[in-house]
Structure 1
């Protein structure tokens, strides 16, 4: 069975009917108002001689604003790929390889600055709630159907250094899918680097979740990019093993500017004990001042890049090169040179605030430096040596690239 309801019921019969018909999923998936959705499901049940209680449908589509359902058994379990309008929304811990919970995205583009923003919207729609679907990675790995294309590029970053700008600018080209810090990918990668599982099992899991997230739902996708969480530089060797031909970039910025941003709104990885990944564990982290702990995390993220640079495929980009470097350096590194129309769209996107695209970007370097406290300057000195190594490596790499093109 592809679908195994907890118990036979009129609602489970309707769910099985919808699961078997992609056109029904598209029709119901377009309905965002609960009452209209209930009416459409009742109409469907009558057409198939199913006596369905409206209250059963209402209960099935109750909102889950806290995401509690992720930690509960799923009403729909598939042993195959869902139809093409579905994407993984969350990874689900299992004690082994994570499972995936899916949501109905339909044809909606991933245009939000972060994947989670799109998930919060689509996962709350009635069809996603009624057909809350879960699959194991093992089941997906054994089925080559509806796989997405190989990733065209990975975006690593120091944090608060323009990586979201890179993602939003690349996403301005409608032929690109850009997945910005997708939790399912993060969840599987964290499991892989922490699990001690055989490398081939790790690679299979990572390739499967990448394929699931990068599905071509429009029929016009040419490239898929992943912008990763900053701590996932720890997974660089695994991703090189899983996707040896996929290029990657590492975006970095003057440490004092990053630390000022972190002091204003701390990311999870800079809060002692908040990030459950041992590869980035800082000794006696709870005893460190917050700014010093954040500095150590910037060092760890950067050192992972420097330590594994020899694996190849990398490009270093300084925030000061933005936004021109996205069109002029990053896009070609990822295998495409934007034509004039594409380049114009990308440059226009780069004029907007990457995290609040309705606003115009206002340079903040001077303001950040002016806001730096003596404690932050002390913390920045801890990052200065690794920042200098990144700058030197970037300079040497660019000089070699120029020498190669002049031959």
Structure 2
């Protein structure tokens, strides 16, 4: 049962109702589609009455607090589990644990493909539902690892790396439009795992295990009918191609690039987090020694380092480098 080995940080009066819902996928589906808090409370009261479970409307309503900024990661989650949540929940954010390892917040997506231009957009949609205000789950790193391999997953079939502002979203959205494809576009939980692996200097065997576990969690088979899982990585993940190759040696990758001046013009007009100094650890963008003199120089060095990383790691195999003007043709020929 999903409710076993779980800690509930909610009023005691809500525990029987929460446990019953967690053990019934039909009830999850019924409640999770409700978009207004008042309607969620009303339907929850109906469910509780049908299940002969006492439920106080005022207490339930008092726990339903929206979190549009994702600040819940800095506080305890309503539910804490030492295994994966039931089918339908996906990891959405990394959370810093007291021991320095990443923990993960999970919310209910149900049988819906996350295929928007960015994974964060799907997360915000899911987190806006009252169901997820009450049923957000947090697991530790060991729970993520122990759940790996325990259930079916949509197999990872491809990785998209990119220079930034060079057509990667176009390519990922083309594949997201294919009904049997599941596309995770720059999922934060994967980026959080990569940062931890690199900054904590995690040994290779453990790093491979965690990488496979987080990708499996993002690719859970939730009844969407998807057969292929594609991941569009964040631009700075190009520095971790060796890590991806070690964890997924049979999964091929593409790298998309564009005239670097055009890329820099876009990045200076609308900066990305990895191109602004001090918004990310310098180790993650391979700027350990260089001291840029301006924001323009910093962004230029970051872009240059990404390109250099691709050149350095192409010998690992499985890669295809595609220029921006060739993306449309390549999307239906060489890339598949």
> TM-score, normalization: structure 2?
0.93
**2:320 corresponds to 1:315:** yes
| Separation in structure 1 between the aligned mates of residue 289 and residue 139 of structure 2, nearest angstrom | 39
- Of 162, 166, 185 in structure 1, the residue corresponding to residue 171 of structure 2 is 166
Asked if the contact 1:137/1:208 (under 8 Å) is kept, the reply is no
| Separation in structure 1 between the aligned mates of residue 252 and residue 297 of structure 2, nearest angstrom | 32
- Of 129, 136, 145 in structure 2, the residue corresponding to residue 132 of structure 1 is 136
| Separation in structure 1 between the aligned mates of residue 232 and residue 221 of structure 2, nearest angstrom | 18
**2:187 corresponds to 1:209:** no
Give 1:297 deviation, angstroms: 0.3
- Of 93, 100, 107 in structure 1, the residue corresponding to residue 104 of structure 2 is 100
Give 1:220 deviation, angstroms: 1.8
| Separation in structure 2 between the aligned mates of residue 147 and residue 67 of structure 1, nearest angstrom | 29
Deviations 1:171-230 (A, max 9, x none): 111100010001011111111122112211111111111001011223521110000110
**2:89 corresponds to 1:89:** no
Instruction: Provide the residue aligned with 1:20 in structure 2.
Output: 23
**2:129 corresponds to 1:120:** no
Give 1:285 deviation, angstroms: 6.7
Deviations 1:8-28 (A, max 9, x none): 712122111111111111111
Deviations 1:259-290 (A, max 9, x none): 11112101111111111251425367775221
**2:77 corresponds to 1:74:** yes
Q: Which SS does the other structure have where 2:8 is aligned? A: coil
Asked if the contact 1:97/1:205 (under 8 Å) is kept, the reply is no
Asked if the contact 1:230/1:301 (under 8 Å) is kept, the reply is yes
Give 1:147 deviation, angstroms: 4.1
Asked if the contact 1:89/1:123 (under 8 Å) is kept, the reply is no
Q: Which SS does the other structure have where 2:90 is aligned? A: strand
Instruction: Provide the residue aligned with 1:2 in structure 2.
Output: 5
More helix by share: 1
Larger Rg: 1 or 2? 1
Q: Which SS does the other structure have where 2:334 is aligned? A: helix
Asked if the contact 1:233/1:304 (under 8 Å) is kept, the reply is yes
Asked if the contact 1:194/1:277 (under 8 Å) is kept, the reply is no
Give 1:316 deviation, angstroms: 0.3
Asked if the contact 1:179/1:226 (under 8 Å) is kept, the reply is yes
Long gaps (5+) in structure 2: none
Instruction: Provide the residue aligned with 2:65 in structure 1.
Output: 62
**2:331 corresponds to 1:326:** yes
Long gaps (5+) in structure 1: 332-407
**2:244 corresponds to 1:239:** yes
Change (3 A) 1:17 1:7: same
| Separation in structure 2 between the aligned mates of residue 19 and residue 236 of structure 1, nearest angstrom | 38
> TM-score, normalization: structure 1?
0.78
Instruction: Provide the residue aligned with 1:157 in structure 2.
Output: 162
| Separation in structure 2 between the aligned mates of residue 286 and residue 32 of structure 1, nearest angstrom | 49
Asked if the contact 2:9/2:77 (under 8 Å) is kept, the reply is no
Q: Which SS does the other structure have where 2:38 is aligned? A: helix
Change (3 A) 1:159 1:7: closer
